[in-house]
A and B are shown apart, each in its own frame.
Chain A
Amino acid sequence: MRNLINFFWRHSIFILFILLEFLAISLVVNNNGYQKSVAFAWVSEKTGKIQSVRNSFWDYLNLKQTNKELAAENARYRSMLPSAFLITDTLVHYKKDTLYRQQYQMLSAEVISNTTNSSTNFLQLNKGLLQGINKDMAVISPTGVVGIVVNVSQNFSWVMSLLNKETRISARIKKNGQIGTIAWEGGSYRFASLKDIPNHVRISRGDTIVTSGYSHIFPKGEIIGVINDFNIKSGEHFYDINVRLGVDFNNLANVYVIRNMLRDEQKKLEEPVK
């Protein structure tokens, strides 16, 4: 403290000089139209530059939040897409906007844990019951099918990855509509196999595999992957098809959880028969 006072005392003349100059120049700037406009232009240019630097800095720091918001927005839009609606075409006399009834709803979620190297891989998502996620909902990403929700807590959900030996997903070859089952038998996380495609069907490499929509979990037509390789083992009636998965499970960050709003009705319908 004493040093500080000493410092000010020693430089008191200089400080007075600066003060008086500051006072004089502020008088100049405030009372003379020309100088005022020049000073204002200069100051606003500099502050504008600083502002834009500051903005780009915060924009960068907010990227995560922005991504989240964009994902939520995408989810909203995707649930407006025609593929999320079930066509109810019996109702001729209804108004146009009731021709489509929404069947699938999308919720965005973030992957907070994920494995690809076990034989039973699971993912954990940062949303749960409170955010509207329930058991047996489908999980997809923009590049393809990810898995099925098998357990939920209040705020988190546990997803059985497609990379799980227990997972079976009903699939369809897009070009000819043949139904099969996608399963993963271990090995590379980039590949799964498609079973139950009879060997009379003509297939080729690069054919797209999509979900069939038969399971009441996945909507119809979500991409799973493309055919990478196939062969027929002697004495078998079905192809042995190797599918390159659309999703790169190793860098999965944002996913969508799909709620089938008519699933209960569909289940109830099947119950007495089963």
Chain B
Amino acid sequence: MSNQYIRISLRFVILVLVQVLLFNNIHFLGYINPYIYILFILLLPFETKRWVLLVLAFALGLSVDFFSNSMGIHAAACVFAAYFRPGVMSLITSRKEYEPGVEPSIVDLGFQWFFMYSLILVSLHHLILFLLEVFRFSNFFSTLGHSILNALFTVLFIILIQYIFYRKK
């Protein structure tokens, strides 16, 4: 059990560092920038209490904010995504039971499930993120398009990362 806590804490630190040191500097095509740190929220175990989820998401977003000089924007987006995580989970049926100890990952639940799951949550996260960045509702649809395009790239990277690091299980 303590092993799991250590792994989650490590994942937190590593994802934040990778995000701020590497992925924040990608600027693919000038405006596409995968936010892979959200993988942390996606991978938290099923039995995680909802308030823990929210608080962790807030802490995660705030840490990224500190480094990317965007106080509060990532925190708001992460909390938003974390709040809807259980809802999205119950929306997507899985052939496996959501059991304690099982992480919502590709290894445990399969590619198709994880793809839908991550795409929805990442899109929600990105939508809030870009809305807060633009900070107005005019041009809502261009913001929406931007966030979906960006979400596709984020999901792509998230899945790649999973195939790289979670094979051995």
Q: Which residues of A contact B (CB under 8 A)?
A: 12-13, 16-17, 20-21, 23-32, 34-35, 38-39
B132 on interface, CB distance cutoff 8 Å: yes
Interface-lining segment among B5-13, B24-32, B34-42, B67-75: B67-75
Q: Given A16-B54, A17-B83, A24-B58, does the pair A34, B135 have CB atoms closer than 8 Å?
A: yes
A32 to chain B, nearest CB (A): 6
- Contacts A24-B75, A27-B72, A32-B73 supplied; 7 other A-B pairs, CB < 8 Å: A17-B54, A21-B79, A23-B75, A28-B70, A28-B71, A29-B72, A38-B136
Q: Given A13-B54, A16-B54, A17-B54, does the pair A24, B135 have CB atoms closer than 8 Å?
A: no
Contact yes or no, A38 B76, CB < 8 A? no
Q: Given A17-B79, A20-B79, A21-B79, does the pair A28, B54 have CB atoms closer than 8 Å?
A: no
One of A13, A16, A32, A39 near B71 (C-beta < 8 A): A32
B20 to chain A, nearest CB (A): 17
Contact yes or no, A31 B51, CB < 8 A? no
CA distance A30 to B135 in the complex (A): 13
One of B72, B79, B136 near A28 (C-beta < 8 A): B72
Contact yes or no, A27 B71, CB < 8 A? yes
A45 to chain B, nearest CB (A): 13
| Neighbouring A residues of B73 by C-beta, 8 Å | 24, 28, 32
Interface residue range, chain B = 20 to 34
| Neighbouring B residues of A13 by C-beta, 8 Å | 50-51, 54, 83
Number of A-B contacts (CB under 8 A): 61
| Neighbouring A residues of B79 by C-beta, 8 Å | 17, 20-21, 24
Task: Give chain A's interface secondary structure class.
Answer: helix
Contact yes or no, A35 B132, CB < 8 A? yes
Q: Given A16-B51, A20-B54, does the pair A39, B76 have CB atoms closer than 8 Å?
A: no
| Neighbouring B residues of A27 by C-beta, 8 Å | 62, 65, 71-72, 75
Residue of B nearest to A26 (CB): B72
B104 on interface, CB distance cutoff 8 Å: no
B59 to chain A, nearest CB (A): 10
B60 to chain A, nearest CB (A): 12
Contact yes or no, B71 A25, CB < 8 A? no
